[in-house]
C-alpha cells in the first residue's frame, strides 16, 4: 500500500513510518530532518517532500505524482499553551491544512484517511475509563481544532459513503524507538512530562515541577493513560490494514490504565536507577484529575493491544535522551 504520512518526521509520525516500512508499505512524508534515521533503522529510505499543508498547490502536485492508497494525517500545531495565546493561528493551520489534504486526496482518487485526534476531545470526563461514545467537549483551541476536524470528517463521510475514514483518539504517548535514534525531542523547555523528566535526569533542568498534589487521586497528582509510542504507531498500522470496507470508525488508543505523575517518577527510578528531584507547584488551569482509556473497541475490531509496560516506556525515553 502506498501511504502519504503528513507530519511523518514528528514524534509519533516518525515511529509510524518505521512500522509502516517494516510491514512492507511504501511511504512518502513531509520533511527531511529524520529521514536519515528512519532509513538507518529500516534499511529503506522513504520518499520525502518538503511541503506545508497550507500550500495547496504543492499538496496537489504531490498527490498527482503518486498513486496514493491512503493518508495518515499527523501534521498540525499541537502546543496547548500556544493555542490559547494564538487561537486564530491554530484554527487556520490545523483546519485549513486538513481541508487542503482532504481535497487533494479526493481529487486524486484516494479514499482512505486516518486522522490523528486526541483524548482532549473528551474534556473533563465525569467517569473513567473513557469510552468512544462519551460526551465531547474541549478546554483549549488545540483540542477544539481536533474536535472540529472530527466533525468535518463525519460530515464528509455522510456526503461520500465510498470513503474509509478512521479517527484515532490517543492518550499520552511517551517512550522512544529501541534504537535510540528517534523519540520525543521538543524545542526549548518541554511541555510534556516524560521529556521534562529525561532532561532533569540528564542535568539540563534542575527539577521536575509537579502541578498540584491535591487531586482526588491515590497520591494527589494527576492521573493519565501513558502509552508507548511504538504501541501507538502500531495502532495506525492496524487501522490502515482494516480499511477495506467504506466506513467511519473511531477508536481510543491507550493502555486502559491510569498512572499518576509520581507513579511515572517512581517507574523512571526503577527503570534507570536515577532519582528525579521534584517540587510541588500550583495546579495548571484546565488540568483534570484523571484521564484514561477504555481501549476494548480497538482490541475487538482492530486486533490491537499494547505490548509495552511503564518501565519500558521510561527506559526507552532515557535511552533516546542519552543519544540526543
pLDDT digits (tens, 9 = 90+) for 213-268: 999 999 999 999 999 999 999 999 999 999 999 999 999 999 999 999 999 999 99
* Cα–Cα dist 10/33, whole Å: 9
Q: Count of domains in the chain? A: 1
157 within some domain: yes
282 within some domain: no
Radius of gyration of the chain (CA): 19
Query: Does the pLDDT value for residue 93 go beyond 90?
Result: yes
78: cell is 499541537
Q: Which of 142, 170, 251, 308 is catalytic?
A: 142
82 within some domain: yes
pLDDT at 187: 82
97 within some domain: yes
Compute CA 315 distance to the chain's CA centroid, rounded to the nearest angstrom. 20
Residue closest to 40 by CA, chosen among 183, 179, 232, 231: 179
Domain that holds residue 153: 2-174+227-254+290-307
Residues 6 or more apart in contact with residue 163 via CB below 8 angstroms? 111, 112, 113, 156, 157, 246, 248
Q: How confident is the prediction for the chain on average, in pLDDT?
A: 95
pLDDT at 32: 67
pLDDT tens profile 33-85? 789 999 999 999 999 999 999 999 999 999 999 999 999 999 999 888 899 99
Q: Is 53 helix (H, G, I), strand (E, B) or coil?
A: coil
pLDDT tens profile 106-119? 999 999 999 999 99
pLDDT at 100: 98
74: cell is 499527523
6 within some domain: yes
Query: Does the pLDDT value for residue 284 go beyond 90?
Result: no
Element (H, E) at 316: helix 310-323
92 part of the active site? no
Task: Write the CATH number for 163.
Answer: 3.40.50.720
146 within some domain: yes
201 within some domain: no
131-137, long-range: CB < 8 A, 24+ apart = 131/252, 131/294, 131/297, 132/169, 132/250, 132/251, 132/252, 132/294, 132/297
200 within some domain: no
Amino acid at each position: 500500500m502506498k501511504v502519504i504520512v503528513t507530519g511523518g518526521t514528528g514524534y509519533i509520525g516518525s515511529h509510524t513510518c518505521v512500522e509502516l516500512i517494516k510491514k512492507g508499505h511504501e511511504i512518502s512524508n513531509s520533511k527531511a530532518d529524520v529521514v536519515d534515521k528512519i532509513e538507518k533503522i529500516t534499511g529503506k529510505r522513504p520518499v520525502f517532500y518538503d511541503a506545508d499543508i497550507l500550500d495547496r498547490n504543492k499538496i496537489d502536485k504531490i498527490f498527482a505524482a503518486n498513486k496514493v492508497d491512503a493518508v495518515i494525517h499527523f501534521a498540525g500545531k499541537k502546543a496547548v499553551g500556544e493555542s490559547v495565546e494564538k487561537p486564530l493561528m491554530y484554527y487556520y493551520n490545523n483546519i485549513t491544512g486538513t481541508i487542503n489534504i482532504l481535497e487533494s486526496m479526493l481529487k486524486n482518487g484516494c479514499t482512505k484517511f486516518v486522522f490523528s485526534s486526541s483524548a482532549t476531545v473528551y474534556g473533563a470526563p465525569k467517569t473513567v475509563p473513557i469510552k468512544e461514545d462519551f460526551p465531547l467537549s474541549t478546554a483549549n483551541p488545540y483540542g477544539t481544532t481536533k474536535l472540529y476536524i472530527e466533525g468535518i470528517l463525519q460530515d464528509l463521510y455522510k456526503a461520500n459513503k465510498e470513503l474509509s475514514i478512521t479517527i484515532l483518539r490517543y492518550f499520552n504517548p511517551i517512550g522512544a524507538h529501541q534504537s535510540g535514534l528517534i523519540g520525543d525531542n521538543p524545542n526549548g523547555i518541554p511541555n510534556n512530562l516524560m521529556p521534562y523528566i529525561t532532561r532533569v535526569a540528564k542535568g539540563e533542568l534542575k527539577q521536575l515541577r509537579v502541578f498540584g498534589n491535591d487531586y482526588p487521586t491515590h497520591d494527589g497528582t494527576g492521573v493519565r493513560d501513558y502509552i508507548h509510542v511504538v504501541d501507538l504507531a502500531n495502532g495506525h498500522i492496524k487501522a490502515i490494514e482494516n480499511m477495506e470496507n467504506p466506513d467511519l470508525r473511531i477508536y481510543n488508543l491507550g493502555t486502559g490504565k491510569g498512572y499518576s505523575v509520581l507513579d511515572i517518577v517512581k517507574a523512571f527510578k526503577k527503570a534507570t536507577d536515577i532519582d528525579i528531584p521534584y517540587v510541588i507547584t500550583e495546579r495548571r488551569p484546565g488540568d483534570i484529575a484523571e484521564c484514561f482509556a477504555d481501549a476494548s473497541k480497538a482490541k475487538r475490531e482492530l486486533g490491537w493491544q499494547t505490548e509495552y509496560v511503564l518501565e519500558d516506556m521510561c527506559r526507552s525515553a532515557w535511552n533516546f535522551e542519552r543519544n540526543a
